[in-house]
């Protein structure tokens, strides 16, 4: 299927939407469970990245060639795991993965004693591992904080398996900090001694993990698209999302606060849990007082940019640096696609982007998705304002395989 055409019959949006489980939690829990050698995980993500991570962890004992495909977390977490487990073989990935830098992580693991070589281009996958045990005594590594937090999480996760533990000194500004906190919380749940000792210092003590059971929370990044749908739907719209917690370890739970201003109220439901989203009037004065900083929640930027454009809110966004090295250059992709609807995301100062929107209209445009699941899901809610076609809709399998089915259940099809 190369196109998904979406239309809306009108009237308020109502219903319950099934969310995928958190991929970020699932992949960290899988690695902690593996290193703990036990425990039961429930509500694991069905996303391709998590299925792949589980498979590669299982195959590592017998295979000498592993393929992380297009999954950044899998490539980074497996690199760290394979290094500490003394594996011998080659870890490769899709063509796009071979363009995503991994030198920061490899340099760190080499400093801990790992023997890792680049098979093709220096600094990029594929990687050859030549076994050997990491026996470095108490190590402290300096790691740049402004690159992907996945490098930091990958090193932290294997820290308890090192004979001397691991201290990471984060240099420069630190992006995506909630993902580091998520990693530490899950490590502690599995019995590891790990903590943030200072804003620029995180540490894991030696001593490994203990088996534990864990139920993965639903994914707040996926919930963001339902916030967008309620924001753009007719008055009186309301959607229920099961499986979300008021006390969440996921950084993207901040979507509930951002979207309050853009017309969506969040009510946490007792008993079974989850939230009910209800459309409320816009209240953007405070939101427009200063740029909204996405440093800690980069996966929400596309969603919020599209909603602001459709609502004609001249929102300013900052902290988008990491978007350039995601599945695609997400800044350029959002700009290209917004222009089709009469809007734009213009850099008005270094690193500050403003949503500019006049005569915004949805009337049959086709949205390109750039091999990026979040482009497909962030632009689909515009179908509540007019007919819309999404190219290559299967990209959503990366994080939310049932997305189109869930939209169809509430009448967006």
**Active-site residue numbers?**
299
Rounded CA gap, 57 and 249, in Å? 24
Check whether 398 is labelled as a binding-site residue: yes
Q: Where are the alpha helices (DSSP H) in 233-324?
A: 255-261, 285-288, 301-311
Tokens describing residue 256? 């509930």
330 is in an annotated binding site: yes
Helices (H), 16-99: 23-36, 48-59, 72-84
| Token pair 């350029």 in the structure block, residue | 332
329 is in an annotated binding site: no
Is residue 356 within 8 A of residue 346, CB to CB? The reply is yes
Q: Compute the distance between CA of residue 381 and CA of residue 341 in angstroms, rounded to an integer.
A: 13
Cα atoms in the 13 Å half-sphere on the side-chain side of 154? 26
299 annotated ligand-binding residue: yes
Q: What is the 3-state secondary structure (H, E, C) of 335-402?
A: HHHHHCCCEEEEEEECCEEEEEECCCCCCCCEECCCCCHHHHHHHHHHHHHCCEEEECHHHHHHCCCC
Residue 304 near residue 258 (C-beta atoms within 8 A): yes
**CA–CA separation, 278 vs 280, rounded Å?**
6
Phi/psi of residue 195, nearest 5 degrees: -160, 160
Q: Is 405 annotated as a binding residue?
A: no
238 is in an annotated binding site: no
28 is in an annotated binding site: yes
Sign of CA dihedral 189, 219, 254, 409: negative
* 4 carries a ligand binding annotation: no
The answer on whether 237 is annotated among ligand-binding residues is: no
In 3D, which of 318, 319, 361 has the Cα closest to residue 338? 361
DSSP type of residue 47: S
Residue 148 labeled ligand binder = yes
Binding residues for phosphoenolpyruvate: 23, 72, 100, 150, 330, 374, 398
Binding residues for 3-phosphoshikimate: 23-24, 28, 148-150, 176, 299, 326
Binding residues: 23-24, 28, 72, 100, 148-150, 176, 299, 326, 330, 374, 398
């Amino acid at each position: 299927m190369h196109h998904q055409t979406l239309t809306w019959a009108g009237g308020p949006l109502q219903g319950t939407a099934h969310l995928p489980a958190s991929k970020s939690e699932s992949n960290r829990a899988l690695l902690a469970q593996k290193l703990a050698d036990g425990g039961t995980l429930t509500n694991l993500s069905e996303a391709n990245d998590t299925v792949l991570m589980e498979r590669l962890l299982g195959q590592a004992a017998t295979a000498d060639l592993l393929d992380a495909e297009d999954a950044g977390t899998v490539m980074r977490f497996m690199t760290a795991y394979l290094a500490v487990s003394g594996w011998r073989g080659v870890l490769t990935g899709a063509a796009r993965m071979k363009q995503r830098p991994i030198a920061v992580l490899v340099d760190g693991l080499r400093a801990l004693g790992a023997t890792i070589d680049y098979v093709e281009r220096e600094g990029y996958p594929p990687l050859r591992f030549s076994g050997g045990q990491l026996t470095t005594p108490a190590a402290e590594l300096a790691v740049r904080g402004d690159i992907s937090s996945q490098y930091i999480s990958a090193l932290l996760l294997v820290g308890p398996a090192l004979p001397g533990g691991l201290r990471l000194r984060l240099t420069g500004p630190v992006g995506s900090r909630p993902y580091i906190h998520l990693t530490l919380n899950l490590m502690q749940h599995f019995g590891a001694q790990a903590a943030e000792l200072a804003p620029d210092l995180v540490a894991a003590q030696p001593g490994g993990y203990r088996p534990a059971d864990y139920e993965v929370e639903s994914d707040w990044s996926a919930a963001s698209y339902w916030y967008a749908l309620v924001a753009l739907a007719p008055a009186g719209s309301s959607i229920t999302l099961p499986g979300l917690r008021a006390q969440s370890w996921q950084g993207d739970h901040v979507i509930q606060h951002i979207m309050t201003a853009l017309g969506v109220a969040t009510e946490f439901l007792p008993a079974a849990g989850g939230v009910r989203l209800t459309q409320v009037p816009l209240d953007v004065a405070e939101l427009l007082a200063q740029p909204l900083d996405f440093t800690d929640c980069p996966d929400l930027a596309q969603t919020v940019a599209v909603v602001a454009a459709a609502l004609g809110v001249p929102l300013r966004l900052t902290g988008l640096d990491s978007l350039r090295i995601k599945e695609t250059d997400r800044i350029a992709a959002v700009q290209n696609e917004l222009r089709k609807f009469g809007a734009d995301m213009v850099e008005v100062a270094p690193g500050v982007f403003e949503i500019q929107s006049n005569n915004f209209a949805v009337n049959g445009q086709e949205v390109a998705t750039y091999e990026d699941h979040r482009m497909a899901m962030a632009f689909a809610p515009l179908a509540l304002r007019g007919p819309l076609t999404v190219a290559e809709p299967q990209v959503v399998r990366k994080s939310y395989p049932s997305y189109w089915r869930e939209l169809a259940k509430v009448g967006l099809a």
